[in-house]
Chain A
Amino acid sequence: AQSVTQLDSHVSVSEGTPVLLRCNYSSSYSPSLFWYVQHPNKGLQLLLKYTSAATLVKGINGFEAEFKKSETSFHLTKPSAHMSDAAEYFCVVSDLDSGAGSYQLTFGKGTKLSVIP
């Protein structure tokens, strides 16, 4: 069975400082991993995805994440926070279940990012 743990429910940073949102996962297969962002009263939007190509993945709005298999981590980073980054972020693991011919998605519980002016 797969699982996702977002290690911080709330992260607060000052504008212009780096952002680190942590995500650990467990998976029985070769997973795809995603980060989604949700702004208030909006749906979830894909930030970036890892699908077994390059381990360092670049996404929208200056975000990137590194897949580290040995640490089972997929942490999200950004060099310099902007006020518009204030939102909730979700880490998602997608396992290809070849036996079922489908994939199973598991969401983390989310990390709320606050950006202080």
Chain B
Amino acid sequence: DAEITQSPRHKITETGRQVTLACHQTWNHNNMFWYRQDLGHGLRLIHYSYGVHDTNKGEVSDGYSVSRSNTEDLPLTLESAASSQTSVYFCASSERLSAGGTGELFFGEGSRLTVL
């Protein structure tokens, strides 16, 4: 079965360190997204990609970067982790509009990041 996996599921790091969260999907979806989930804020979009070598900023992109070198993977990098980036991060993918996509998202299980 197709799936979307995130790693690590839990990570503790220190302020100022670089952190990368991995996301791998086997749906063969062109669209991939990173969200963060915080109490009282719901899900907020960090970055997204509509295909290989395409990346776009979401509403809370400061301090984060992504790169898309293939269809399956969209790693999220925190260049210099800050305590405000302590959160649960979700990766998601969806079918492209031209292939009949409606916006339905397929989510990973989440990565809980703690920045001390």
A contacts, CB < 8 Å to B:
32, 34, 36, 41-46, 49, 51, 90, 92, 94, 96, 101-103, 105, 107-110
Verify B104–A46 contact, CB threshold 8 A: yes
Residues of B62-108 at the interface with A, using a CB-CB cut-off of 8 Å, are 90, 92, 97-98, 101-105, 107-108
Which residues from B are CB-within-8-Å of A101? 97-98
Verify A110–B103 contact, CB threshold 8 A: no
Cα of A29 to Cα of B97 in the assembled complex, Å: 15
Instruction: With A42-B109, A43-B110, A44-B107 as known contacts, state yes or no: A94 contacts B102, CB within 8 Å.
Output: yes
Verify B42–A90 contact, CB threshold 8 A: yes
Pick from B45, B98, B103, B107: contact of A94, CB below 8 A: B103
Closest to A42 in B: B109
Which range contains the number of B residues in contact with the other chain? Answer: 10 to 19
Closest to A105 in B: B103
B contacts, CB < 8 Å to A:
40-43, 45, 50, 90, 92, 97-98, 101-105, 107-110
Instruction: With A43-B110, A109-B40 as known contacts, state yes or no: A34 contacts B97, CB within 8 Å.
Output: no
Which residues from B are CB-within-8-Å of A103? 97, 101-103
Which residues from A are CB-within-8-Å of B43? 44, 90, 107
Instruction: With A43-B109, A96-B97 as known contacts, state yes or no: A102 contacts B50, CB within 8 Å.
Output: yes
Min CB distance, B112 to chain A, in Å?
Answer: 8
Min CB distance, A91 to chain B, in Å?
Answer: 10
Min CB distance, B74 to chain A, in Å?
Answer: 15
Closest to A4 in B: B42
Which residues from A are CB-within-8-Å of B103? 32, 34, 92, 94, 96, 103, 105
Instruction: With A32-B102, A94-B102 as known contacts, state yes or no: A43 contacts B42, CB within 8 Å.
Output: no
